[in-house]
């Protein structure tokens, strides 16, 4: 007996849907086993990380608020990934987006109201797009790998944030903590359900996936992105501009990350401190792949990853494991989803060594 | 041909199955000592699978291989060579940066001192009249010379059976003649040759017996000297072959496509620079461009399609409008349609549906996209129209391009361009890897399009195809195009010399012809 990988005649749609689900389940199973071996209550940990946030209704608003930036960033990244443009620097674009929004807020002074909030959000989109335009320029002009340039710019963004909140933008009443002054009440994003933390950005994150689905499936822009990603030579033959596609893919993913940053700042945190970069930009990469680069898939995957974030904090208090444990589960999910991709195009067959028997098995 | 009691190689009931396809279904035939035996069939008929099993690369699922009467299992190519089976592959495995001698030494199973090996090589070369310089670097050699290295490598083992896989697909007519001399001499000395090809006139000229495969099954074993090319082709495709129907005495119209002094620097390491290419194609004319692979055919196609831009607008004109600086999208609107030789990933996107592949090149001329939105219904209708008109075997417009066979995808791509009624259609290798039935349909479609007043350029390595299809012919060699000549009065020998690198000046051609005459 031996195991043989065999190419499927056509990619399996069932596997495309099933493998993300199986990856999550397998992650939970491995988690139980590994934590039990480490002497921690594995079942408890996995239950708290994956199930408590769903079962306990008071955690739902936390999940929603955490899912919003993940979904929004992942939507943008999916566009880039479809075009085989790998923006790894969404975290940096997210930071710059929030800083642009903060800049507008500070410039507005005591002014507030819907237009100021809108201006802050638009500034966030602009900031993220500009930060992503740098790798786009480097890539199209000098063929610099966008994976490296976008990732490195994340650290630059972190330094910019450190300088601003520790220097010119430091809250005069903040007991010398490196943080901006909290937003005025008339500069924050409205809360949708009174008494919760669910802000307007969550609603936008619910609507955007459908807009992106329409864009990718029905518009020529979506077609262009898909062609360039699937067959660059055919794209050139068809008269599509590869450089333009790289630009658009990076700028759109940067704009989405900037939007998420502006929402997080104006809707959830209301101030920027050194802890503002929380890894959403990186986790969104997992969301994008777990969602199979499909906008609706990103919405579902964003909720799943948000659950692990919230669950990590639950597990910290109940089974006393660090909340960063959630990061291990997230990484495990990404690993499994990428590894299981092979089952979309291939299937496993068990064949015996004797060739005659193989012929029979093939009937 | 004398029939002896024990054939050199005898196959009975050979069966090989791959997922979803029966590549060989109870195939059996025998090759006698000293016989040149043709293995004939279309792409996908199972020829390659069969010889891979004889050469030990694969094992049959069922059936028996007998060698000089003894049943054997060929476990590996090394075992095959030990038995006395040699093979010359269609694609060579040579190190470009090494000499002929080093390449041959690397391919030997046994370690032989260099000096001894060189003597042996010179011996073989002299005996069979294979001209090669052992100390030359392979990268400086022509395709024909490279093939000779592979042949010498096989002959050093004193094979009793030599398998040749499509040996003439990359050779000029003169090189083909030289190869046949060598093969006949080998056969006369008792070596059996299994000759894989789909070129029927070569098989008639060279082979004693022909085994014809179709769809993995043995169709017939016949004598090619008695059969006609047509009868063998019909056995090969399992149906009657249609001739190209064309109206006699058709007049050409005005100049549609004019290329004047088109020069493009080489693209990257593997590109060929185009040097001062000029030609004109009239309405209703089919213009052929012959040449050995890698002489700038692909570069020329890209320069015409607009994927590579010219330096001057006047370098490429369609209907008098200079479009040399226009890119692919704009050139299509001027009526220039192109079909590159690579179907998957260049002419079509493998993971896209046929409807989406229609959008790829037909969206502007046919309005399959409007104000930035895809008109999915219109794309679907057009794809369906192409499938219908060109008898493409597909489940429908939703079928993935990669799910189609090579011939069917090619028919779809040709149909996609032809139904757009282009003023100029440039196609490269239109029937490469396409079965004879589909090839005939594609040829007919090109002739019909020309009859309706389009100008057509066919770039092909298959000289027979060009001679049958074209009105005018030119030869491309190292990025230079020869003077066009009328196909009706074309001199095959001259075309062959042009393909081999004697550029179109009359004196050099005459001199080369004379040298050739002396050599005979």
Per-residue pLDDT of A211-243, as tens digits, reads: 999 999 999 999 999 999 999 999 999 999 989
Q: Strands B85-88 and B9-18, how do they pair?
A: unpaired
pLDDT at residue number A362: 32
| Residues of chain B positioned with their CB less than 8 A from the CB of A231 | 345-346, 348-351
% of chain A residues with pLDDT over 90: 48
Residue B481: enclosing H or E segment and its boundaries? strand B480-481
What's the pLDDT band for A97 if we cut at 50, 70, 90?
very high
Q: What Rg value do the Cα atoms of chain B yield, rounded? A: 24
Architecture (CATH level 2) of domain A2-361: Orthogonal Bundle (1.10)
Which of the residues A239, A248, A351 would you substitute to probe the B interface, choosing the one with the greatest number of B C-beta atoms within 10 Å?
A239
Query: Quick check: A239 and B329 CB within 8 A?
Result: yes
Q: Report the interhelical angle of B506-519 vs B492-499 (nearest 10°).
A: 100
d(CA B57, CA B80) in angstroms, rounded, equals 9
pLDDT at residue number A361: 33
pLDDT at residue number B455: 94
Query: Quick check: B19 and A9 CB within 8 A?
Result: yes
Pick the CATH number of B9-237 from 2.70.150.10, 1.20.210.10, 3.40.50.300, 3.40.50.970: 3.40.50.300
Query: Quick check: B342 and A231 CB within 8 A?
Result: no
> Quick one: which of A104, A133, A98, A138 has its CA closest to A120?
A104
d(CA B307, CA B327) in angstroms, rounded, equals 6
Query: Quick check: B327 and A239 CB within 8 A?
Result: yes
Asked whether residue A358 carries a pLDDT value surpassing 50, the answer given is no
% of chain A residues with pLDDT over 70: 96
Query: Quick check: B352 and A6 CB within 8 A?
Result: no
As for the ipTM of the complex, it is 0.79
Q: In chain B, where are the structural domains located? A: 9-237
> Residue B76 has which token pair?
């590996």
State the CB neighbour count (10 A cutoff) for residue B489: 6
> Residue B22 has which token pair?
């029966």
d(CA B170, CA A338) in angstroms, rounded, equals 42
pLDDT at residue number A175: 83
pLDDT at residue number A48: 86
Chain B interface, Cβ < 8 Å to A: 15, 17, 19-20, 59-62, 305-307, 327-330, 332, 338, 340, 342, 345-352, 356, 359-361, 363-364, 369, 372-374, 376, 400, 403
pTM above the 0.80 mark?
no
pLDDT tens track, chain B, 520 positions: 444 568 899 999 999 887 767 888 899 999 999 999 999 887 667 888 898 899 998 889 999 999 998 899 988 888 999 899 999 887 788 888 888 888 888 878 777 888 888 888 888 888 888 888 888 888 777 777 888 888 888 888 889 999 998 888 777 778 888 889 999 999 999 999 999 887 778 888 899 999 998 888 888 888 988 888 778 878 887 766 666 666 666 678 888 999 999 999 887 666 788 999 999 999 999 999 998 877 888 899 999 999 999 989 999 999 989 998 999 999 999 999 999 988 888 999 998 999 999 999 999 888 888 888 989 899 999 999 999 988 888 888 988 888 887 778 888 999 999 999 999 999 998 887 677 778 888 899 999 999 998 999 999 988 888 888 899 999 998 889 998 988 887 777 788 788 776 554 555 555 555 655 555 5
Interface of A with B in 212-271 (CB under 8 A): 218-221, 223, 226-227, 230-231, 233-234, 236-240
Partner B contacted by A9 (CB < 8 A): yes
Asked whether residue A356 carries a pLDDT value surpassing 60, the answer given is no
**Residue B415 phi, psi dihedral angles, 5° rounding:** -60, -40
d(CA B199, CA B121) in angstroms, rounded, equals 30
**Residue B72 phi, psi dihedral angles, 5° rounding:** -135, 160
How close does chain B come to A76, measured CA to CA in Å?
Answer: 19
Asked whether residue A121 carries a pLDDT value surpassing 50, the answer given is yes
Query: Quick check: A237 and B330 CB within 8 A?
Result: no
pLDDT at residue number B339: 94
């Amino acid at each position: 007996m031996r195991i043989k990988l065999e190419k499927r005649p056509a990619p399996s749609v069932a596997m495309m849907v099933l493998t993300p689900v199986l990856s999550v389940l397998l992650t939970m199973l491995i988690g139980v086993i590994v934590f039990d071996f480490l002497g921690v209550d594995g079942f408890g940990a996995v239950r708290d990380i994956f199930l408590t946030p769903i079962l306990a209704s008071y955690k739902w608003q936390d999940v929603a608020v955490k899912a919003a930036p993940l979904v929004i960033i992942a939507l943008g990244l999916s566009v880039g990934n479809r075009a085989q443009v790998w923006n790894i620097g969404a975290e940096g674009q997210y930071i710059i987006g929030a800083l642009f929004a903060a800049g507008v807020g500070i410039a507005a002074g005591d002014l507030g109201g819907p237009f100021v909030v809108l201006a802050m959000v638009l500034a966030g989109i602009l900031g993220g797009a500009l930060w992503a335009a740098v790798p786009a320029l480097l890539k199209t002009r000098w063929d610099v790998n966008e994976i490296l340039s976008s990732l490195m710019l994340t650290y630059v963004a972190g330094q910019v944030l450190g300088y601003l909140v520790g220097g010119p933008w430091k809250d005069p009443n903040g007991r010398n903590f490196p943080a901006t002054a909290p937003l005025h009440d008339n500069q924050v994003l409205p809360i949708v359900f009174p008494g919760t933390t669910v802000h307007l950005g969550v609603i936008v994150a619910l609507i955007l996936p459908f807009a992106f689905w329409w864009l990718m499936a029905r518009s020529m822009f979506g077609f262009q992105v898909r062609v360039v990603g699937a067959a660059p030579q055919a794209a050139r033959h068809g008269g599509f501009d590869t450089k333009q596609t790289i630009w658009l893919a990076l700028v759109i993913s940067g704009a989405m990350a900037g939007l998420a940053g502006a929402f997080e700042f104006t809707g959830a945190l209301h101030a920027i401190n050194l802890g503002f970069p929380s890894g959403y930009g990186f986790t969104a990469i997992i969301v994008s792949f777990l969602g199979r680069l499909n906008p609706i898939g990103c919405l579902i995957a964003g909720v799943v990853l948000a659950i692990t974030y919230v669950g990590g904090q639950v597990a910290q208090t109940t089974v006393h494991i660090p909340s960063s444990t959630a990061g291990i589960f997230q990484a495990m999910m990404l690993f499994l989803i990428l590894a299981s991709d092979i089952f979309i195009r291939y299937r496993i067959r068990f064949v015996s060594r004797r060739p005659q028997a193989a012929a029979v098995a093939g009937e | 041909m004398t029939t002896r009691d024990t054939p050199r190689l005898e196959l009975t009931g050979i069966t090989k199955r791959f997922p979803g396809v029966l590549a060989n279904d109870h195939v059996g035939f025998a090759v006698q000592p000293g016989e040149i035996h043709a293995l004939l069939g279309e792409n996908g008929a199972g020829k390659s699978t069969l010889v891979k099993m004889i050469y030990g690369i694969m094992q049959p699922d069922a059936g028996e291989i007998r060698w000089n009467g003894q049943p054997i299992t060929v476990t590996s190519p090394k075992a095959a060579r030990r038995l006395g089976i040699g093979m010359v592959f269609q694609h060579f495995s040579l190190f470009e940066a090494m000499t002929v001698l080093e390449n041959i030494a690397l391919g030997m199973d046994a370690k032989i001192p260099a000096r001894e090996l060189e003597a042996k090589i010179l011996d073989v070369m002299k005996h069979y009249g294979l001209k090669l310089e052992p100390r030359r670097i392979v990268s400086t050699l022509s395709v024909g010379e490279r093939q000779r290295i592979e042949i010498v490598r096989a002959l050093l083992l004193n094979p009793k059976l030599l398998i040749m896989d499509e040996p003439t697909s990359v050779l000029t007519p003169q090189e083909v003649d030289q190869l046949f001399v060598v093969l006949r001499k080998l056969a006369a000395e008792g070596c059996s040759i299994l000759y894989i090809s789909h070129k029927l006139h070569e098989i008639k000229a060279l082979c004693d017996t022909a085994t014809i495969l179709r769809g993995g099954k043995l169709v017939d074993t016949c004598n090619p000297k008695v059969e006609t090319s047509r009868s063998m082709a019909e056995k090969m495709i399992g149906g009657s072959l249609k001739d190209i129907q064309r109206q006699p005495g058709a007049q050409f119209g005005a100049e549609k496509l004019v290329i004047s002094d088109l020069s493009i620097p080489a693209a990257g390491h593997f590109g060929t620079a185009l040097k001062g290419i000029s030609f004109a194609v009239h309405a209703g004319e089919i213009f052929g461009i012959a040449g050995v692979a890698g002489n700038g055919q692909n570069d020329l196609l890209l320069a015409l399609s607009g994927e590579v831009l010219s330096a001057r607008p006047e370098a490429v004109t369609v209907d008098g409008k200079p479009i040399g600086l226009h890119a692919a999208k704009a050139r299509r609107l001027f009526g220039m349609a192109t079909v590159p030789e690579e179907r998957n990933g260049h002419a079509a996107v493998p993971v896209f549906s046929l409807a989406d592949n229609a959008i790829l090149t037909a969206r502007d001329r046919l309005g399959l996209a409007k104000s930035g939105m895809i008109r999915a219904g219109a794309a679907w209708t057009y794809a369906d129209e192409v499938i219908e008109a060109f008898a493409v075997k597909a489940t429908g417009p939703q079928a993935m391009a990669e799910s189609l066979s090579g011939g069917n995808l090619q028919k779809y791509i040709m149909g996609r361009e032809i139904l757009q009624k282009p003023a100029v259609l440039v196609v490269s290798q239109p029937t490469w890897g396409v079965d004879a039935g589909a090839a005939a349909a594609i040829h007919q479609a090109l002739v019909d399009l020309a009859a309706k007043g389009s100008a057509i350029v066919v770039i092909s390595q298959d000289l027979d195809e060009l001679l049958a299809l074209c009105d005018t012919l030119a030869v491309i060699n190292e990025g230079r195009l020869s003077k066009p000549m009328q196909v009706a009065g074309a001199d095959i020998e001259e075309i062959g010399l042009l393909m081999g690198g004697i550029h179109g000046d009359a004196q050099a051609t005459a001199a080369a012809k004379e040298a050739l005459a002396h050599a005979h």
